[in-house]
Each structure stands twice: as structure tokens, then as C-alpha cells.
Structure 1
Amino acid sequence: MNNRWCNYTELLTTVIMILIVKCDCNQVPNIDCNNLRLGQYICPHPDYEFIDLKTQQPKGCTKENKAKVTCLAATDLVCEETGNNTFKKDIPCKWTNGYSFETSLLLSIFLGMFGADRFYLGYPALGLLKLSTLGFLFVGQFFDVILIATQVVGPADGSHYVMPYYGAGITVIRSDNFTYKLPQDDW
């Protein structure tokens, strides 16, 4: 029995030694960095300028309101996409096509009775209607000032306004079947 125990011990020691020799313990495995959890990466990378100064949105913002930015994974993580600790990730943004919020609001206030605001935003039919009726006798101009100021009316191409970084950006919250308030249990 004692001899058998020694054989098992020698075999186990040999297997462990082979595994230690074959294993390079300093090698870090490549991982898919798109599956990292919050806290395992910083996005966007703090060393890169990613804001477009003309639009005040991330560079490369698409019509789908997403932009690819460079992110930094935690130390000692190697991403399989790049071979280092940086990777690309989609972040939300607001696609703009050059229409200024301030310009459209000022056009609506001062030249709205002639339809200049609607022509500027890409609504030529409404602009012509406002021009021929003197802004629906100034009532349409008043409503357009309110609709543009609250950002209900935007550019006709579906883009967002170009806003200053600390501008009057509004996020519209809509209610649907998934956002209604759930009933609470009575205590």
C-alpha cells in the first residue's frame, strides 16, 4: 500500500511539473472587450478628443444616433479586437445636420410672419403658406415660436438641432404600454 501511494505521489508531482513548465503564467488571455461589465472599462477614452466642436456631439455620429468611440479597458486586460487595452464601442448621440437652434428660434421670432423659420427648417409648403397669410395673421407665428422653443418642431430631415454644450437641450419623455406606472401594493 505504501509503495502504491508513492507511485501516485510521483505521478501527480510529474503531471504538476509538466503543467507548470507548459504554462506561461505571465501571458494574459485575449478577451472580447464588448462584453466587459461597467467598471471594467472607461468609455470614451480619457486621452482622446471625441467631441466635434461644430456640432457639440461625438465625432462620427450617424443617422441612427450612434457614434463609435475608443474606450479603455482596465489594466492587464487585452482586447482581442485590437491586441491592446483599447476597443471601439457605440455610444448614443444626437445626429445633427447643421441646423442651429438659435438661428431657427430667432427667425421664428423676428421673421416668422413671412415663414422664414419654416423655409430654414426645410418645410417650404408651410413657409409659403405663412408667407401668403402673414403668419396665419400672427397666430401661426406665435405657435411656431412656442413649438420651436420647446423643440417640438425640428428640422425636416429628422436631425437634431446644433446646440451649445450647455444649451437648452430638451429630452422628451413619452409614455407607452411599457412605461406606464405600475400599481403599488397597499401596505
Structure 2
Amino acid sequence: MTTLGHLCIELAFVLLVTNCANCDEQYYVDCSTLRMGQYKCPHPDIINDYIDPQTQQPRGCTKENKAKVLCLASVGINCTETNNRTFKRDIPCKWTNGYSFETAMLLSIFLGMFGADRFYLGYPAIGLFKFCTLGFMFLGQLVDIILIATQVVGPADGSHYVIPHYGAGIEVIKSDNWTYKLPQDDW
């Protein structure tokens, strides 16, 4: 989300708090049903301890690419599950297993002809084949540089690369049986 988007959410949250500062009524709701603007994630008290410096992802990110984070409901809203304004919510994240994007790129550029990039990412058969053929006569090395740079080839365990928090990240959009095009009327 952009900085402008964060600023708009912060402003909406402040307006909700100031509009209800004089409210004495307390509403108890299931906080999993709250909509954007009715809560703030992560909780402002844990914002400095929110990102894991080793993985550059929210702490507690699981293989399902979700992390539970402590959130704060707006003033006047109490959660039925905790009887106060705090609750835990799943947020999206990218599970990493320690494979560095920079390391994979450097190995691919400088030692890709020997298959070092593929060995590092957990593909020993392709790494051995690249080693025996000098990176498919350097053509396979060039292809792997492009595939790793565009993040098409990732670690073999299905995890994501560790990328600096403000570094470039690519989101791959795939189509399967659950996604389809809706028919459109021709004009």
C-alpha cells in the first residue's frame, strides 16, 4: 500500500477516534467482521516489533502465507472474544525460508555456469547438469539469470526470497480452474 493510502487510513482512524471520544456507549462485536477503518493493524504499541529483521516479513508468517497480528479496534468497539479493544487478525505475508534474492542473483551471474545458483535454490539435478555442460554452453546461465531476476524461479521448497523490505517484489498472477473470464456484451 502506498504512503498516501496509509495516510488516508490513519486519517480515517483519527476521525473515528475523535468523533467518538465523548461516547460512553460500548459495543461488543465479533471483531473478525470489522471492516477497514474500524480497526488498525498492527496495534500501534507493537509497530516497532512487527517486522522480523531476518526475513523482512511480519513475525509468525506461516507456510500458508498468513501471519496473526495484534490489532486495535476503534474507540467504542469491544471484541467479544477478548472483552477489550484488541484482537488478532490474519494478514497476508510471504513465507521465507532464508533464501536471499541477492545471493541467488550473484551466484547466477558469476557462478551460474557451474550450477551454483541451482544448487543454492535446492535444484541439485539441474545444478549438476549445468555444471557438466558449462551452463548449457552459457545459454542456460543467461536464461537462469533472467528467470531468477524476474523471480519466476524461486527456492525449491516453495518459499519466497528474502528481499529487503523496500526492495522490488513481483507478485505472480496465475489462472486456474477457479479463475475465469466473465462474458461481456459486445457493443
User: TM-score interval w.r.t. the shorter chain?
Assistant: 0.7 to 0.9
2:123 corresponds in structure 1 to 123
Between 89-98 and 168-177, the greater mean CA deviation after superposition: 168-177
| Distance (Å, rounded) in 2 between the aligned partners of 1:89 and 1:161 | 24
Paired residue type of 1:101: F
| Distance (Å, rounded) in 1 between the aligned partners of 2:56 and 2:100 | 11
Q: Whose Rg is larger?
A: 1
Secondary structure in 2 aligned to 1:48? helix
Q: Using the TM superposition, give the Cα deviation of residue 29 of structure 1 relative to its aligned residue in structure 2, in angstroms.
A: 4.8
Change (3 A) 1:40 1:146: same
Q: Which runs of 5+ in 2 are unaligned?
A: 1-23
Instruction: Tell me the TM-score normalized by structure 2.
Output: 0.80
Secondary structure in 1 aligned to 2:129? helix
2:32 corresponds in structure 1 to 34
Q: Using the TM superposition, give the Cα deviation of residue 83 of structure 1 relative to its aligned residue in structure 2, in angstroms.
A: 2.0
| Distance (Å, rounded) in 2 between the aligned partners of 1:131 and 1:120 | 13
Deviating 4+ runs (over 6 angstroms)? none
2:104 corresponds in structure 1 to 104
2:173 corresponds in structure 1 to 173
Paired residue type of 2:45: D
Q: Using the TM superposition, give the Cα deviation of residue 128 of structure 1 relative to its aligned residue in structure 2, in angstroms.
A: 1.0
Q: 1:15-70 deviations in whole A, cap 9, x for unaligned?
A: xxxxxxxxxxx673532111112221112223313111221110000000000001
Paired residue type of 2:60: G
Q: Using the TM superposition, give the Cα deviation of residue 179 of structure 1 relative to its aligned residue in structure 2, in angstroms.
A: 4.4
Question: Given that residues 78 and 85 in structure 2 are in contact (C-alpha distance below 8 angstroms), is that contact kept between their aligned partners in structure 1?
Answer: yes
Q: 1:156-176 deviations in whole A, cap 9, x for unaligned?
A: 110000001121200112234
| Distance (Å, rounded) in 2 between the aligned partners of 1:127 and 1:186 | 51
Paired residue type of 1:107: L
Instruction: Tell me the TM-score normalized by structure 1.
Output: 0.80
Paired residue type of 1:40: Q
Alpha-carbon RMSD across the aligned residues, in angstroms, is: 1.7
| Distance (Å, rounded) in 1 between the aligned partners of 2:175 and 2:97 | 28
Q: Which runs of 5+ in 1 are unaligned?
A: 1-25
2:71 corresponds in structure 1 to 71
Residues paired across the two proteins, number: 162
Question: Given that residues 25 and 76 in structure 2 are in contact (C-alpha distance below 8 angstroms), is that contact kept between their aligned partners in structure 1?
Answer: no
